[in-house]
Chain A
Amino acid sequence: MANPISAGDTAWILTSTALVLLMTPGLAFFYGGMVRKKNILSTLNLSFIMMGVISVQWVLYGYTLAFGKNVAGLFGDLSYLGFSGVTGVAGPYSSNIPHLAFAAFQMMFAVITPALITGAFVERIRFKTFLVFAVLWATIVYDPLCHWVWGDGGWMGAMGALDFAGGTVVHIAAGFSALAFAIAIGPRKGFPKAPMEPHNIPYTVLGAGLLWFGWFGFNAGSSLAADGLASYAFVNTNTAAAAAAVSWMLVSWTDAGKPSVLGIATGAVVGLVAITPAAGFVTPLGAIVIGAVGAPISYYAIRFRQKRNLDESLDVWACHGMAGTWGALATGLFAAPEVNKAAGLFYGNPGQLGIQAISVAVTICFVFLVTFVLAKILDGIMGLRVETLEEEVGLDLSEHGERAYS
């Protein structure tokens, strides 16, 4: 029998895996620039350490919970425990690439998702508690949700929900978990009266650039082949980010009087979030609408959050939760059959929007409730936040015994 593995596809997926990995340090800088300088190392590390902790978790048992043989449509069994049976030959999810390449590509998604949540609780989180939270969250929220959407036999995928690269699994999950965690942990000391200015917006712009670059792997790699669909996803990714950056600039210019650079960088990321579920289903013109509309949704979601005096510090909910929700629903509107066989409302299939809405609603309820309860339990056992004095000194010194700038 001929070897079915394609060298071209494998090369692209391994490259994409590295691209998605780079998004996590990119995210670290995106977030790091927005905190006060006494907390930059802590904030960078909350993302960076996920490359350590979750990579190991994924190899040991995370992958099999997400992609093992289906148990009741809810999670995977333990057949791939410790990556056993995950080898250099094709697997059930990939006839054209090694099973190991698929598992590695998926690993990077599992790594960045809890890192995204960290924006909610920067500058006050107890690091030890965060580590426990991240492992438990990956185990009882991410891995099952990933199975529901992408696992063979997972109920959301079986229902026909479209999520090309993780709008639901990654962005809605992270965004609404962030909201739940922010409510559980409470605001930073002095919020909202004390000034909490971003200390290094250049870091944030650098981080947004790295995220944009890495997102080509995230979305175009999700085609799992170096093919025409990957090309659609690639172009849609860039187009939506571009449209959202311009759209955010115009909204900010009109609303605040000046086009904020922090806003433009945020807009690009919001466009990337919004296109994620749709990247392999819509046309580039659809991507422009998805990006351009996503920006004001997140912009005014931030305003709503500010008015509620809720310290969801770096707006993970507004940027990932709300833009992810918009992107998932927009996939049900703009999915074009000529791209990837699926049709949305504008192509004569209104039912798709309903399916998308169900998957969004269930995901939001599931991640919000489980995260909130998990955070409250950990608060009772270990404490979610550092002592007041430690918070005032800053987490770089109090949690890590280091300072970023000497």
Chain B
Amino acid sequence: MLKKIEAIIREDKLNDVKDALHAVGIRGMNVFEIRGQGRQGGITLAGRSGTYQVDMLPKMQINIILSEDNVDETIAAILKGGRTGDAGDGLIFVYPVDEAVRIRTGERGHEAVMYPGDIDEKKKKGAA
């Protein structure tokens, strides 16, 4: 069973989250620059005269397609890399995925989202 993790994180936490994901063996991901609002509300910026409020804040979104077995480790890595403890740290969503196809090889399903040295290979080596 394939899953999609969609994580909305702080812009400035992208590197920490990416490092934490690499550490557990997550290789494939897409990153988007997004804007949004949530519990953090707005931020105050200095303007020409005085300050002003901005309520659509820049965030990063990371999408990862992976095996159901790897979801927990991945969420733990994102929490480890992305958390500051203040409002605005973001949210993680998990969705089912019907199919994945690697265009170069035509591989489908789990095969399509596996990478050399990734979390699945690590687990295999651990079991062997």
- Residues of A bordering B, CB below 8 Å: 195, 197, 252, 255-260, 262-263, 266, 299-300, 302-303, 306, 315, 318
Across the interface, do B46 and A256 meet the contact criterion of CB distance under 8 Å? Answer: yes
5 additional A-B residue pairs with CB within 8 Å, beyond A259-B46, A263-B46, A303-B49? A197-B45, A260-B46, A303-B50, A306-B49, A306-B50
**Interface centre among B48, B49, B55, by most A CB within 10 Å?**
B48
Q: List chain B residues, Cβ under 8 A from A262.
A: 46-48
Q: B54 — which chain A residues lie within 8 A by C-beta? A: 195, 197
B42 → chain A, closest Cβ, in Å? 9
Residues of B within 8 A of A299 (CB): 49
Q: Contact check, B50 vs A258: say whether CB atoms are below 8 A apart.
A: no
Minimal Cβ-Cβ distance residue in B for A255: B50
Give B80-124 as 1s and 0s: 1 = Cβ < 8 Å from A's Cβ atoms: 000000000000000000000000000000000000000000000
Q: How far is the CA of A161 from the CA of B46 in the complex (A)?
A: 39
Q: Provide a sorted-by-A list of 8 A–B residue pairs whose CB atoms are within 8 angstroms.
A: A195-B52, A195-B56, A197-B45, A259-B46, A260-B46, A262-B47, A303-B50, A315-B48
Instruction: Select one of A256, A259, A300, A318 contacting B47, CB under 8 A.
Output: A256
Number of A-B residue pairs having CB atoms within 8 Å of each other in the complex: 40
On whether the beta carbons of B50 and A256 are closer than 8 Å, the reply is yes
For A253, give the chain B residue with the smallest CB separation. B46
Interchain nearest-CB distance for A141 vs B (Å): 27
Q: B30 in the interface, Cβ–Cβ < 8 Å? A: no
Interface size on B, residues (CB 8 A): 11
Contact A257 B46, beta carbon cutoff 8 Å: yes
Q: In the complex the two chains form, what is the Cα distance from A23 to B17 in whole Å?
A: 47
The complex places the Cα of A302 from the Cα of B49 at a distance, in Å, of 6
Of all chain B residues, the one with the shortest Cβ separation from A34 is B48
1/0 contact string of B50-68 vs chain A (CB within 8 Å): 1110111000000000000
B37 to chain A, nearest CB (A): 12
Complex CA gap A258/B47 in Å reads 9
Which chain B residues numbered 18 to 50 have a C-beta less than 8 Å away from chain A?
45-50
A122 to chain B, nearest CB (A): 15
The smallest C-beta distance from A72 to any residue of chain B, in angstroms, reads: 42
Binding site for A on B (CB under 8 A): 45-52, 54-56
With A and B bound together, what is the CA distance between A262 and B52 in angstroms?
13
A260 to B40 alpha-carbon distance, docked (Å): 23
Closest 7 A/B residue pairs (Cβ) = A302-B49, A260-B46, A258-B46, A256-B46, A256-B51, A303-B49, A299-B49
CB-CB under 8 A from B49, the residues of chain A are: 252, 255, 263, 299-300, 302-303, 306, 318
Contact status B51-A257, CB under 8 Å: yes
Q: Which of B46, B49, B50, B52 has the most CB of A within 10 A?
A: B49
B46–A195 contact, CB under 8 A? no
Once the chains are docked, how many angstroms separate the CA of A256 from the CA of B51? 6
CA A260 – CA B51 in complex, angstroms?
Answer: 9
CB distance from B33 to the nearest CB of A (A): 14
CB < 8 Å neighbour of A263 from B48, B52, B55, B56 = B48
Considering the complex, give the chain A residue whose CB is closest to the CB of B50.
A256
Write the chain A residue with the least CB distance to B45.
A197
Residue of chain B at shortest CB distance from A251: B49
A23 to B45, CA, bound (A): 29
**Cα separation A257 to B52 with both chains bound (whole Å):** 12
A260 and chain B: residue at smallest CB distance: B46
Residues of the B chain whose Cβ atoms lie less than 8 Å from the Cβ of A263: 46-49
**Contact yes or no, A266 B55, CB < 8 A:** no
A44 to B51, CA, bound (A): 26
For residue B46, which residues in chain A have a CB less than 8 angstroms away from its CB?
Answer: 252, 256-260, 262-263
Alpha-carbon gap, A256 to B52, bound state (A): 9
A252 to B46, CA, bound (A): 8
Residues of B within 8 A of A256 (CB): 46-47, 50-51
A260 touches B48 (CB 8 A): yes
Q: Which residues of A contact B51 (CB under 8 A)?
A: 256-257
Question: What is the bound-complex CA distance between A263 and B52, given in angstroms?
Answer: 13
* Distance A195 CA – B57 CA, assembled complex (angstroms): 12
Give the CA-CA distance A294 to B49 in the complex, in Å.
Answer: 14
Q: Nearest-CB distance from A180 to chain B (Å)?
A: 21
What chain A residues lie within 8 Å of B45 (beta carbons)? 197
With the chains together, A260 CA to B47 CA distance in Å?
A: 6
- Least CB distance from A30 to B in Å reads 12
Which residues of A lie under 8 Å from residue B52 when comparing CB positions? 195, 197
Which chain B positions have C-beta within 8 A of A303? Answer: 49-50
Interchain CA distance A302-B55 in the complex, whole Å:
23
User: Shortest Cβ distance from A108 into chain B, in angstroms?
Assistant: 27
Residues on the A chain within 8 Å of B55, using CB: 195
Chain B residues near A197: list those with CB within 8 A. Answer: 45, 52, 54
Q: State how many angstroms separate the Cβ of B58 from the closest Cβ of chain A.
A: 12
A257 proximity list for chain B (CB < 8 A):
46, 51
> CA A211 – CA B16 in complex, angstroms?
42
